[in-house]
Structure 1
Amino acid sequence: MRKIIDIQKQLLPDLTEVLNKRYTILHHILLSGVVGRRTLASSLNMTERVLRAEVNFLKAQGLLEIETIGMRISDSGKELIEQLRPIMKELLGLTDLEEQIKVRYGLKQVVIVPGDSDFSDYSKKELGRAGAAMLLKYAAKEDIIAVAGGSTTSEIANQLSASTHLKGNLFVPARGGLGEMLELQANTIASNMAKRTGAGYRLLHVPDHLSEDAYQSLIQEPNIKEIIDVIRKSRMVVHGIGEAMVMADRRKVDHTTRQILESEGALAEAFGYYFNHRGEVVHQIPTIGLRIEDIVGTEVVIGVAGGSSKAEAILAVLKFGHEDVLVIDEGAATRMVEVM
């Protein structure tokens, strides 16, 4: 396939451009569910006149369905998109980037989706779709799957659907998180994933950020202790990756802690730990749930993050050395390769 694509780029460069444009339109409609032409034109930075011509062509090919409330992808369109995914990755050079990062950090698999989540909500949705696909791929029967909080893992939950594959599995929060917005809490995401897939779930009703005294008191509670034991038996962990100072602000850490993070060169935050550029843990939030030693012993760790602004944070977590599967976007991947 690589040779054919190289020949096409040389002899038919216009065809590659048209293919990319039409694939992008179909893909955006797929992720949106139903979308109006004006909204789609704005999202794609395309004039309505140009989009109208493309939509009419795609509809004539049976790839789109037009309703009063907007456009939706047809079954034929969905099938075509799945067939085109590997071709588009080759055209965009993403396959080479995936292999480069995979080999460099000894990962089982790297998945790169088009776009940059810093600028595109559609790229965020595609990250969620790809993250959901990796979760389904690596989940085994009757697994315990720990899920961290955050907007990326929340989008993964939104992209999951009923699956007989996961019916005997158990979703659990990777740690407490009552301080977050409700929809971004690990508890909410774990229960959402379970309900969408037909799996079971357990919840951990404790704050994300605890004082040392509160931490020591809570871990002695029998009910808390029991759910923590379940969480620590997780075979799979799914988590996002945040920029250290952005996460510090979001968690409203005190001034002293912020100074420590800055002086230690904290770049990334994942599952309650802060990492420097060497992948070393420089700070830990006193939180109940998975510990760093649990992450090290977990069979499958899936990290999902996007946006060129997160490139150095993602690299810091990769240098920690315990990721197995990485799902990122083109913006993050391109920047990562530049600074690796």
Structure 2
Amino acid sequence: MAPAPGTGPRLSADGQVRLLTKVARLYHERGVRQTEIASMLHLSQARVSRLLKRAAELGIVRTVVVVTAGVHTDLEEQLEARYGLLEAVVVDAEGDEQDVLAALGSAGAGYLETTLTGGERLGISSWSATLLAVADRLHPFRTPGADSIIQLVGGVGVASVQAEANRLLSQLASVVGASPTFVPAPGLVGSPDVRAGLLQDPAMGSIASQWRELTMALVGIGSLAPSRLLLDSGNAGGPLEQQHLREAGAVGDVCNRFFAADGSLVASELDDRVVGIDPTTFREIPRRVGLAGGERKRQAVRAALLGGWVNVLVTDVATARALLAD
């Protein structure tokens, strides 16, 4: 905040205005503390404080926010207004998908470090390279940022890839200072009967109750074509199932729940084989943070916003502009 040069109110240059201007310049331009100003001008500190407040009211002092390069508050505010988001985080990301992934990982880590203040019950998607990038960039919390972290879909898969899902949960929980809960089942099983049997297990019943108590979700937004991590894990539908989803209008997913371009749920036979949080329970979580970017995912991101699948978005500048241009 600084005195506005030559743009102040049309006031007579009497002693009061001179005093207001002098106090404002000392405080805002020269960085002199209020106690020192009081001593210099033989005023009480309370009066100095009142003069500074009055200078702001009269327009002698005006606030100017200087936007740092790489900060996109204008785009963030437009996204929040356009899609009814609680918050948007937009970051610079130039290059290929790996560059976008790295940028989103850093932005997601920064978001968690500033918003996880303790007491959260956090759910995370199990098969997300973006969330792995977040976990790798998080700094350890000095005090616990969340009480618990739980997988939102089954984290069992091909052994070499399951290690990544396990690392994601373990590392996030360790850094944040929360207790982890694994879902001891595949995210996608072979038949509805297998899923029904798993859900009757007392351990899965306990996990389902925890899903209903979540205060926050952290998820990747998937395009219709599965990511390499999900595909390699064995938890993605096959080519025929992908074709059926495409014919039904699906453009993307969150936690293996597929939606159309308008964000509406696309029902498919996969629904009865997913071991994970159901769509209704998921969308009742108060804060649902989606991380995604890059040209390949733009249609899916837009659909996720329209359908209310996420209400906080972390994305790149190009995707943000595309979302606002639609």
Indicate yes or no: 2:277 matched with 1:290. Answer: yes
Matched AA of 1:216: A
Aligned pairs for 1:38-117 (under 5 A) are 86-89=67-70, 94-116=72-94
Distance in structure 2 (CA, Å) of the matches to 1:152 and 1:247: 10
Cα contact 1:244–1:266 (8 A) shared by 2: yes
Indicate which of 131, 145, 151 corresponds to 2:108. 131
Deviation at 1:305, TM superposition (A): 0.7
Indicate which of 233, 238, 243 corresponds to 1:254. 238
Deviation at 1:102, TM superposition (A): 1.3
Question: Which portions of structure 1, spanning 4 or more consecutive aligned residues, are displaced by more than 6 angstroms?
Answer: none
Determine which structure has the larger helix proportion and give its number.
1
Distance in structure 1 (CA, Å) of the matches to 2:256 and 2:223: 12
Deviations 1:149-205 (A, max 9, x none): 2100111111112213425511111110322623542x4312110112222111111
Indicate yes or no: 2:316 matched with 1:329. Answer: yes
Deviation at 1:222, TM superposition (A): 1.0
Residue 21 of structure 2: aligned partner: none
Q: Alignment RMSD, CA only?
A: 2.4
Matched AA of 2:251: L
Q: CA 1:243–1:224 in 2, change beyond 3 Å: closer, same or farther?
A: same
Deviation at 1:123, TM superposition (A): 3.4
- What is the DSSP-based 3-state SS (H/G/I as helix, E as strand, rest coil) of the residue aligned with 2:69? helix
Matched AA of 2:217: V
Aligned pairs for 1:88-237 (under 5 A) are 88-89=69-70, 94-116=72-94, 119=96, 121-149=98-126, 150-166=128-144, 169-179=147-157, 181-185=161-165, 187-210=166-189, 211-237=191-217
Q: CA 1:103–1:168 in 2, change beyond 3 Å: closer, same or farther?
A: closer
Aligned pairs for 1:13-32 (under 5 A) are none
Distance in structure 1 (CA, Å) of the matches to 2:157 and 2:67: 40
Matched AA of 1:145: L
Question: TM-score when scaled to structure 2?
Answer: 0.70
Deviations 1:215-269 (A, max 9, x none): 1001111122112222331110000011112359824523442232111121111
Q: CA 1:256–1:155 in 2, change beyond 3 Å: closer, same or farther?
A: same
Residue 47 of structure 2: aligned partner: none
Indicate which of 218, 222, 245 corresponds to 2:225. 245
- What is the DSSP-based 3-state SS (H/G/I as helix, E as strand, rest coil) of the residue aligned with 2:280? helix
Identity across the alignment (%) = 25
Q: CA 1:220–1:101 in 2, change beyond 3 Å: closer, same or farther?
A: same
Deviation at 1:288, TM superposition (A): 2.2
In structure 1, runs of 5+ residues without a counterpart are 2-84
Deviations 1:127-149 (A, max 9, x none): 11211222233335322100112
- What is the DSSP-based 3-state SS (H/G/I as helix, E as strand, rest coil) of the residue aligned with 2:169? helix
Question: TM-score when scaled to structure 1?
Answer: 0.67
Q: CA 1:268–1:199 in 2, change beyond 3 Å: closer, same or farther?
A: same
Structure with higher Rg: it is 2
Cα contact 2:256–2:274 (8 A) shared by 1: yes
Cα contact 2:187–2:276 (8 A) shared by 1: no
Distance in structure 2 (CA, Å) of the matches to 1:315 and 1:208: 25
In structure 2, runs of 5+ residues without a counterpart are 2-65
Residue 293 of structure 2: aligned partner: 306
- What is the DSSP-based 3-state SS (H/G/I as helix, E as strand, rest coil) of the residue aligned with 1:157? helix
